[in-house]
Amino acid sequence: MQPIIEVVISGLLVGGLYALIAMGLSLQYGVARVLNVAHGEFIMLGGMTTWALYMAFHINPLLSLVVCGPAAFALGYALHRTVYTRVLASSASPGAFESNSLLASFGLLFIIQNLALIAWGADTRAYSYLAVPVDVAGVLFGANRLLTLGSALVIGVAFYIFLARTRIGKAIRAAAQDPTTAALMGVNINSVLALCFGLGAALAAIAGMLISICYPVTAVMGIHYTVIAMIVVVLGGLGSIPGSFIGGFVLGLIESIVSYFEPALTLAANYLIFALLLLVKPTGIMGR
Amino acid sequence: MRTGRVSWVGLRTPVLWLVLLVAMGTLSLYASAYTVIMVANILLYVILTMSWVLFSAPTGYISLATAAFFGVGIYTAAILGEQLPLPLVILTAGLASFCLAALVGALTLRLKGVYFAFFTFGLVELIKHLLLWYEVNVTGVRGRFVVFADNVTIYYVILGILVILLLTSYLIRRSRIGLALQSIGEGEDAAAHIGINVSAVKTIVFALSAVFVGAAGAAMATRWTYVDPYMAFDYLYSFTAVAMAVFGGLGRFEGPILGAVVFAFLRELLITRFPYVYMLVMGSVLVVTILYLPQGLVQLAQMSPWRRSRGNREPA
Amino acid sequence: MSLLEVEGVTKHFGGLAAVSGVDLRVDEGEVVGLIGPNGAGKTTLFNLLSGALKPNSGAVRFRGEDITGLKPHQICRKGLARTFQSVKVFGGMSVSQNVLVGVVFGDRSRMSAKQTGEEVARLLEFVGLSAVGGVPAKDLTLANQKRVEVARALASKPELLLIDELMAGLNPTEVAQAMDLVAAIGERGTTVLIIEHVMKAIMGICGRIIVFHHGEKIAEGTPQEIATSRTVIEVYLGE
């Protein structure tokens, strides 16, 4: 019984993180139609900044969230307004925009990653926060990991309510479904797209902050998480934000099961799922 | 990003290529050892770039897997270098890359481009992880030692691969397959409805493009005495191929070659002293190119007075 | 045996049936019109016939052979070609090149370069675009782009040509010219199934008309019968 609890709760812990990063990417691709391969770099920025603030000023990581989240949002918003809006204007078709924005994101990946490398070097960084064991149904988990899961759930649900209930949330969903009509209905499309991109970046940075509480971080950690986010987004269904949320937990659980037997093969297992998805149901769990 | 048709610049072009070929072919006779190494590096980047262009430019399917095929080539050389003579190692590396690419293509090219982009992006990471696991659990040793080959040999192998690649590229562009590729890029639905087996064409050309990358990887591996998964599977190779091609300009045959030469040269200058700066510059150049010079360097050339009009010229 | 036989074809999207239990046939030599309000499922039917979509149930037979579920390029090779409602010319390529693609890939027979060139010229002349052979397709008017599509489709030497709206946005003179073109296609020996909204044109060139509504075939007959059918009039006026 104990191994099962351990695997399940571990899976949920990891799944919560995956859900957050996938939702961020889903916002950027599903609404703003940007294949943002630099997504993981925002995660990295969130994690590294939190570490830096903790080491320099002993700032509580959760308080860092107040800094990192809005800062990442601002950065994402600005990037969209400057880079992607211009790419959109100069792309002859949606297909061309997807290609061009992918390439631009690839460029941004290298810019951000190397700025981080110049600032912080390539070493692995870690700090200890709330690393006290907590007993859950007979199994010990770090309080920090439980905090991560709790935060991920809270943020996920809050975000869902935001999308479902608020005016802006509805504008986002409208823009995701049919940008042209939404624009005709008075939705300021460029603002909404930039908003989504910024929100996606913010979610990434927050996830990065949560990651830094439990795991070591480095300036080159971004790509690994980008790959995971991509798999979860496909698993959940391209363009479905609830799908990404659920998919994150599904992948987290699967990864936890694999990790129990062979921890180093988790990415391979994820990719196997990716391949199977593409073969059988590319539209994913909630694909439209 | 769509290509235009191949354009001749009069008779100057074939003569130019011939002169270049002779100059490159006799390099070891008149250049210093350092120059040979440097030129080999530059030619390598032209290979990476033009291989990427072969498939991704006409079809618009952005492949981010160049680094994966390069790594496969490196590791093939590391594993087989002692058992087989160099030519066979190179061929095997090309074949291994071909098979990997064919598999990836068959899986993803039936679907929309975003799946292809996602899958190829993560491929590098995946193979790196698999190899690491294998080395930790099966062989017990991190990394491998590679059989050494001298710089002149490596140079000529690289030159040979490049010449074959450029010839293949050029012939494909002028052939039925090139027309099919272009049609796929212009309108895949229409292309399918007019009798083109789009999935097959895409997969075959993609797999073909990987051969050159794998072969080049095997050739370059012999220069390093030791390789490990981190060295062999580096995203930078995927990135440079793409950045150089876009920077040079995809509209003309010579565009990516120009971009590759400029950047590879820049790399030689910066890589040892300022590696992060070099990558930062490249990333910035890519973004600036997409924003302000979407047709790349050759767009500047097109604005000059000796540009000819495209007119009614059609491929044979 | 009819050239085209459609039996009980159905296609769902989510919970919505775009095409539902459709039976129809087209015989060799006919020019058949397909009309109906927007969203009636006409283009979806074309997609099912050309292989762009797979039906959820039912069968499509061409020259007696079951082609249900085949891929578009295979169906094209068998002799069924189409044009698209939202024009899909190869914009960056010249008009001649567009037609060239059709000649090179659409037809099984291999021709020499000279023969290919002649064939392209012939097709351009047939649709009246000889003057603009070298112009990039995206620079043409929409009406001419549709003609490029027709020429490209004809290049594959089809026995059945599906035309999806040729006359949208044309003035009366242009409509008459388009009608002549369709008639000429029929005279060449190609069977035609054409979706069209311009009633005068459909009535004028088609020997038989099929009416669609909400994904179902609701009426079928000669232009005269359809023009006077109460069902059809209600459908169009009641919307």
ipTM: 0.93
CB within 8 Å: B187 and C92 = no
With pLDDT > 70 as the criterion, what percentage of chain C qualifies?
99
Strand partners, C31: C192
Q: CA angle, B153 as apex, B254 and B205 as ends, to 5°?
A: 40
Question: Averaged over C69-76, what is the pLDDT?
Answer: 94
Chain B hits for A94, CB-CB cut-off 8 Å, are none
CB within 8 Å: B316 and C73 = no
Q: Which two tokens stand for residue A80?
A: 């969209």
What Cα–Cα distance (Å) separates residue A125 from each residue in A46, A110, A228, B147? 13, 20, 21, 36
DSSP state of A282: T
Question: Chain B 131-170, CB below 8 Å of chain A: which residues?
Answer: 132-133, 136-137
- DSSP 3-state of A238: coil
C31-35 and C191-195 beta bridge pairing: parallel
Residue in chain B nearest C132 by alpha carbon: B312
Annotate C37-72 with DSSP letters as a single string. STTSSHHHHHHHHHTSS--SEEEEEETTEE-TT--H
Q: How far apart are CA B192 and CA B202, in angstroms?
A: 12
CB within 8 Å: B290 and A100 = yes
Q: Are C35 and C196 in contact (CB under 8 A)?
A: yes
**What is the distance between the terminal CA atoms of chain A, rounded to a whole angstrom?**
38
| Residue A282, C-beta contacts closer than 8 angstroms, at least 6 positions apart | A234, B111, B115
pLDDT confidence of residue C19: 93
Please report all neighbours of B, defined by 3+ CB atom pairs within 8 A: A, C
Chain C hits for B59, CB-CB cut-off 8 Å, are none
With pLDDT > 70 as the criterion, what percentage of chain B qualifies?
91
Q: Name which of C217, C180, C211 is nearest C197 in CA terms.
A: C211
CATH 3.40.50.300 in chain C is located at 1-79+158-239
Question: Which residue of B176, B193, B201 to mutate against C (max C Cβ within 10 Å)?
Answer: B193
pLDDT confidence of residue B11: 53
Q: Name which of C168, C229, C205 is nearest C32 in CA terms.
A: C205
A113 pLDDT more than 90: yes
Q: Provide Rg for chain B, Cα atoms.
A: 19
| pLDDT 10s digits, C159-196 | 999 999 998 888 888 889 999 999 999 999 999 999 99
pLDDT confidence of residue B7: 53
| pLDDT 10s digits, C33-42 | 999 988 888 9
**Contact A281/B at CB under 8 A:** no
Question: Averaged over A43-59, what is the pLDDT?
Answer: 90
Helix (H) / strand (E) element for C209: namely strand C208-213
Question: Averaged over A52-74, what is the pLDDT?
Answer: 87
Q: Which two tokens stand for residue C62?
A: 């061409």
Q: Are B77 and B217 in contact (CB under 8 A)?
A: yes
Q: How far apart are CA C195 and CA A278, in angstroms?
A: 35
Q: Which two tokens stand for residue A124?
A: 């692995």
Residue in chain C nearest B251 by alpha carbon: C92
pLDDT confidence of residue B3: 45
Q: Give the distance from residue A79's alpha carbon to the nearest chain B alpha carbon, in angstroms.
A: 11
Q: Which of C92, C93, C105 sits opposite B196 (nearest CB)?
A: C105
pLDDT confidence of residue B305: 52
pLDDT confidence of residue B180: 96
Strand partners, C34: C195, C210
**Contact A216/B at CB under 8 A:** no
| Residue keyed to tokens 């009798």 | B195
Q: Give the distance from residue B119's alpha carbon to the nearest chain A alpha carbon, in angstroms.
A: 8
CB within 8 Å: A230 and B243 = no
* Domain boundaries B12-302, corresponding CATH code: 1.10.3470
pLDDT confidence of residue B311: 35
Please report all neighbours of A, defined by 3+ CB atom pairs within 8 A: B
Among A134-148, A250-264, B244-258, whose mean pLDDT is lowest? A134-148
B308 pLDDT more than 60: no
pLDDT confidence of residue A124: 87
> Is C1-79+158-239 CATH 3.90.850.10?
no
| Residue keyed to tokens 């112009």 | C135
With pLDDT > 90 as the criterion, what percentage of chain B qualifies?
55
Q: Give the distance from residue C33's alpha carbon to the nearest chain B alpha carbon, in angstroms.
A: 21
Domain boundaries, chain A: 2-280
Q: How far apart are CA A213 and CA A130, in angstroms?
A: 8
CB within 8 Å: C105 and B193 = no
Question: Chain A 247-276, CB below 8 Å of chain B: which residues?
Answer: 262, 264-265, 267-268, 271, 274-275
Q: Which of C52, C133, C152 sits opposite B189 (nearest CB)?
A: C52
Residue in chain B nearest C106 by alpha carbon: B195
CB within 8 Å: B280 and A115 = yes
Chain C hits for B189, CB-CB cut-off 8 Å, are 52, 72, 84, 88
pLDDT confidence of residue A238: 87
Question: Which residue of A21, A84, A103 to mutate against B (max B Cβ within 10 Å)?
Answer: A103
Domain boundaries, chain B: 12-302
What would be the CATH architecture of the domain defined by A2-280?
Orthogonal Bundle (1.10)
Chain A hits for B243, CB-CB cut-off 8 Å, are 106-107
B316 pLDDT more than 50: no
CB within 8 Å: A227 and B114 = no
Chain A hits for B113, CB-CB cut-off 8 Å, are 95, 98-99
From the centroid of its chain, how far is CA C67?
A: 17
Q: CA angle, B103 as apex, B97 and B108 as ends, to 5°?
A: 120
Question: Averaged over B262-284, what is the pLDDT?
Answer: 86
- DSSP 3-state of A121: coil
Q: How far apart are CA C47 and CA C30, in angstroms?
A: 20
CB within 8 Å: B276 and A117 = yes
Chain B hits for A102, CB-CB cut-off 8 Å, are 62, 117
B309 pLDDT more than 90: no
B62 pLDDT more than 70: yes
**Contact B126/A at CB under 8 A:** yes
Query: What is the sign, positive or negative, of the torsion defined by CA atoms of A265, A271, A272, A274?
Result: positive
Q: Give the distance from residue A110's alpha carbon to the nearest chain B alpha carbon, in angstroms.
A: 5
Q: Which two tokens stand for residue C7?
A: 């039996």
pLDDT level of residue A231 (50, 70, 90 thresholds):
very high
pLDDT level of residue B315 (50, 70, 90 thresholds):
very low
B106 pLDDT more than 60: yes
Q: Name which of B287, B300, B216, B288 is nearest B258 in CA terms.
A: B300
Chain B hits for C90, CB-CB cut-off 8 Å, are 182-183, 186-187, 190-191
Among A85-89, A229-233, B100-104, whose mean pLDDT is lowest? A85-89
pLDDT confidence of residue A269: 92
| pLDDT 10s digits, B282-306 | 899 999 999 988 888 777 766 655 4
A262 pLDDT more than 50: yes
A174 pLDDT more than 60: yes
pLDDT confidence of residue B6: 53
Residues of chain B in Cβ contact (below 8 Å) with chain C = 2, 4, 176, 179-180, 182-183, 186-187, 189-198, 311-312, 314-316
Q: HSE of A81 in the Cβ direction (CA atoms, 13 Å)? A: 10
From the centroid of its chain, how far is CA C43?
A: 9
| Residue keyed to tokens 């400029």 | B262
CB within 8 Å: A103 and B290 = yes
DSSP state of B35: H
Q: How much is the mean pLDDT over chain C? A: 91
pLDDT confidence of residue C157: 94
**What is the distance between the terminal CA atoms of chain B, rounded to a whole angstrom?**
24
